[in-house]
Structure 1
């Protein structure tokens, strides 16, 4: 059979392309042709309409609303989450075959396409699942601002060290008055260019909390949630409530806007509800809530957390590194992993940090730990090929690059095939790396990039040593556990039936 498919995930990075590859390979192995359109963070290359028309069925493996969904109308269709396509591609393809054979057309009519930013929340899911989906929507739209702002700030610090002739440049650049520099900008001055990069990065970081809050609210209430969500996030930033305040305003704004949008109003008011009434009332209430009621208590909690982080040293920082490392290795790009990552990147947004600030050490520990699992699986498939299937060995080759680029999802195919052995190994090795990185005092001012931002890492040697040790630990544990499994399987096969033996 011929299938067309669309894959997308909340962040539009790893799962989108891993699902596409899994469907293509699995379909080919089963004798089917699968053409995939990836709707990732860099956009998409739409499938030719002639290919769609010639297809027998359609597979939507998406966690966001499929763009241009009406193109596939009239075809037998299955709609699954992107993780199912990564973890169970054979079952997904089998379900698509069954849909074609049944002849039931489930695709929507033409015009059923999202008119706004992508999000996908399963209305029939459990409350806990919905909360995760709402949160991940906000995080997915926040990450590009994190990457752009963080790398610009990191480049500013690198340039400043050259401009001032030493490590003190990373501090000196923060002391210059940006307005004065821009008023009489000298394009030949490296110092002033470093100020431009720093301010641009800080402006991008200034959107983190409003974007997080706004798109959490959008996931809950659709377009009516955007305005109060962004206003609430900006208010959280104004009072110093930070990331935690953005979470609170995101959920509060979403539910408030959803409630107001369901009011029964006269026909004459319906036209102005989405333009005036909903944004006005919801923004007013959320503004009062954050600026007057809960903003300061949350800000005090954030200040306490910041003071605690600043005071960390010795054993306590190592314990924090162990915890964050274990979280990064636990679900490989899932909610627990994203909580640890968000905790690290929001710390980078704090202005006026010293070059060796604890927040930068946390970012280094989180990134190093997040690289461990895919690198370890790549190593294990190289040194003990017989313990892995042919498909896993092929995935191992790709995992080298994914791990080096800080894409933890590169280990997901292995975890899907053998969950407890891979996850246990990943948690232990990632925790070891996180703890060692903190012990060495490595720092990182960029939120992403893996080995490609090595020049931005303070004590890069310690960072690499921690990464290598964690990778070796994880690879060793997974090899031992898989060897024990295989040895036990051989022993069971060698057990001889006593009656048969006597005969």
Structure 2
């Protein structure tokens, strides 16, 4: 059979492309043709209409709403989450085959559903449990926030490196003193100081959107377009009152539910046309902004101040324990919700104004990134040390995992976890926790929110950082080797399933 597929994940980085590869390889092994459109962070190349027309069925492996879904109207369709395709592509393909054989094809959608939409992508399952929907709302906000974090954080980190070269030891302080007005009127292309200040100002502007974007797209996931305005405005006010990312979370949920509630008011037919344009954004923004300013903002800001003070006072065993906990979270689900909670906790700490070179927030960021590198590196190492414990497909995945782990892409260990979940995840948690604790003990710091070894110049005490990663990866590899050595079934028995990974 011929299938077309669309894959997408909240961050659009790893799961999107891993699901595509899994579907293509599984289809080829089963004698089917699968052509995939990846709707990732880098955009997508739409499937050729002739390829869609020739397809027998459609597979949607997506955690976001499929863009231009109407192109696939009239064909048997399977709609699953992206992780289903990563973990068990064979089962997803079997569902698609069954859908084609069951026939007839579903009725085409209405003309409105066939029109391409430029709306931001999100996907919240209406029939899902409350916990699942809350997770999907949060992941929608985080998915749109991460590019701002990465761009702003790396630009600011680069500005400090250049500032130290231009001003000397106190460059990190000097660069913050150069105003945007100075750059507008006096910028010199031959001045390293001005370039450092330019990077800092642009990075700061990107970072300034972090909380509003988080709040705006949480609200959007809850209420669709009516939630965008109250979410963004509430997030901006959260920044103004010093409520930080906790305020952004509160503003996102508050604005989203207010907009959703108002949009469901039974109003006269003549008023319906102005509801989404005037009434909903006006009322929901007024109430959200007012509550954030006079009711919620101050207590949340006080909580953020207490959290900042607590982080600043971390030392010794308490700092190491925090590193262990965050490290274990990074290794818990390899890019899933728990991993993202730890990552967002670290990256939002980078937005704290006036961080010293040895600030606890920078140590936390270093611990989180180092821990996130461990699982794929540990699996890659294990496939080299004890090849007999791994299938040929796993050994091939291990070669790619070296680069993925070095680049801080935790999802590089997912193909291993898909075949042997508890052993791989147990070893990932242990190895990542060891690395997180060691980084905090060594006092390594990091100003960049992503990049792995490619941002080594931005790491404070880089040799200790690398040592912590190596030790954690070795522990991870050792644990998984021991656990796999204890299993009863030989690896050869797993070969057929591994071929579909």
TM range (shorter): over 0.9
How far apart, in 1, do the equivalents of 2:183 and 2:424 lie?
52
Distance 1:345 1:309, change over 3 A: same
How do 1:295-334 residues align onto structure 2 when only pairs under 5 Å count? 295-334=297-336
CA deviation after TM superposition for structure 1 residue 455, in Å: 1.0
* SS of alignment partner, residue 51 of structure 1: helix
Alignment match, 1:66: 66
Structure 2 residue 28 is matched with structure 1 residue 28? yes
Which moved further from structure 2: 338-347 or 175-184?
Answer: 175-184
How far apart, in 2, do the equivalents of 1:458 and 1:152 lie?
17
Q: 1:84, 1:92 within 8 Å by CA — same for their partners in 2?
A: yes
CA deviation after TM superposition for structure 1 residue 172, in Å: 2.3
Distance 1:450 1:489, change over 3 A: closer
Aligned residues: 489
Alignment match, 1:392: 394
How far apart, in 1, do the equivalents of 2:491 and 2:88 lie?
24
Alignment match, 1:288: 290
Q: 1:225, 1:254 within 8 Å by CA — same for their partners in 2?
A: yes
Alignment match, 1:122: 125
Q: 1:150, 1:445 within 8 Å by CA — same for their partners in 2?
A: yes
How far apart, in 2, do the equivalents of 1:351 and 1:173 lie?
13
- Counterpart among 227, 230, 233 of residue 232 in structure 2: 230
CA deviation after TM superposition for structure 1 residue 390, in Å: 2.1
Structure 2 residue 487 is matched with structure 1 residue 485? yes
Q: How much is the aligned-residue C-alpha RMSD, in angstroms?
A: 1.5
How far apart, in 2, do the equivalents of 1:326 and 1:387 lie?
25
Q: 2:78, 2:95 within 8 Å by CA — same for their partners in 1?
A: yes
* SS of alignment partner, residue 188 of structure 1: coil
Deviations 1:315-337 (A, max 9, x none): 21111111110110101111111
CA deviation after TM superposition for structure 1 residue 459, in Å: 0.7
Alignment match, 1:144: 147
Alignment match, 1:335: 337
Deviations 1:2-51 (A, max 9, x none): 11111001111100000000000011111111111100011001111111
Higher relative contact order (CA 8 A, sep 6+): 2
Q: 1:329, 1:423 within 8 Å by CA — same for their partners in 2?
A: yes
Alignment match, 2:365: 363
How far apart, in 2, do the equivalents of 1:198 and 1:147 lie?
14
| Alignment gaps of 5+ in structure 1 | 491-503
Q: 2:388, 2:491 within 8 Å by CA — same for their partners in 1?
A: no
How far apart, in 2, do the equivalents of 1:201 and 1:355 lie?
18
CA deviation after TM superposition for structure 1 residue 429, in Å: 0.5
Alignment match, 2:217: 215
Deviations 1:348-396 (A, max 9, x none): 0111111111111110000000000011111111221221222222221
How far apart, in 2, do the equivalents of 1:297 and 1:489 lie?
56
How do 1:32-71 residues align onto structure 2 when only pairs under 5 Å count? 32-71=32-71
Structure 2 residue 446 is matched with structure 1 residue 440? no
Structure 2 residue 430 is matched with structure 1 residue 428? yes
Alignment match, 1:83: 83
Q: 1:214, 1:225 within 8 Å by CA — same for their partners in 2?
A: yes
How far apart, in 2, do the equivalents of 1:459 and 1:111 lie?
57
How far apart, in 2, do the equivalents of 1:176 and 1:14 lie?
38
* SS of alignment partner, residue 35 of structure 1: strand
Structure 2 residue 95 is matched with structure 1 residue 92? no
Q: 2:417, 2:425 within 8 Å by CA — same for their partners in 1?
A: yes
CA deviation after TM superposition for structure 1 residue 161, in Å: 1.3
How far apart, in 2, do the equivalents of 1:487 and 1:29 lie?
23
How far apart, in 2, do the equivalents of 1:157 and 1:489 lie?
50
CA deviation after TM superposition for structure 1 residue 180, in Å: 3.3
Alignment match, 1:155: 158
Distance 1:262 1:198, change over 3 A: same
Which moved further from structure 2: 468-477 or 409-418?
Answer: 409-418
How do 1:450-489 residues align onto structure 2 when only pairs under 5 Å count? 450-486=452-488
How far apart, in 2, do the equivalents of 1:215 and 1:131 lie?
13
- Counterpart among 157, 164, 167 of residue 164 in structure 1: 167
How far apart, in 2, do the equivalents of 1:235 and 1:106 lie?
47
CA deviation after TM superposition for structure 1 residue 269, in Å: 1.1
Alignment match, 1:497: none
Alignment match, 1:262: 264
How far apart, in 1, do the equivalents of 2:42 and 2:491 lie?
45
CA deviation after TM superposition for structure 1 residue 488, in Å: 9.2
The structure that has the greater radius of gyration is 1
Q: 1:3, 1:34 within 8 Å by CA — same for their partners in 2?
A: yes
How do 1:199-214 residues align onto structure 2 when only pairs under 5 Å count? 199-214=201-216
Alignment match, 1:272: 274
Deviations 1:91-125 (A, max 9, x none): 00111111111123247525425441000000010
How far apart, in 1, do the equivalents of 2:218 and 2:149 lie?
16
* SS of alignment partner, residue 4 of structure 1: strand
How far apart, in 2, do the equivalents of 1:472 and 1:303 lie?
38
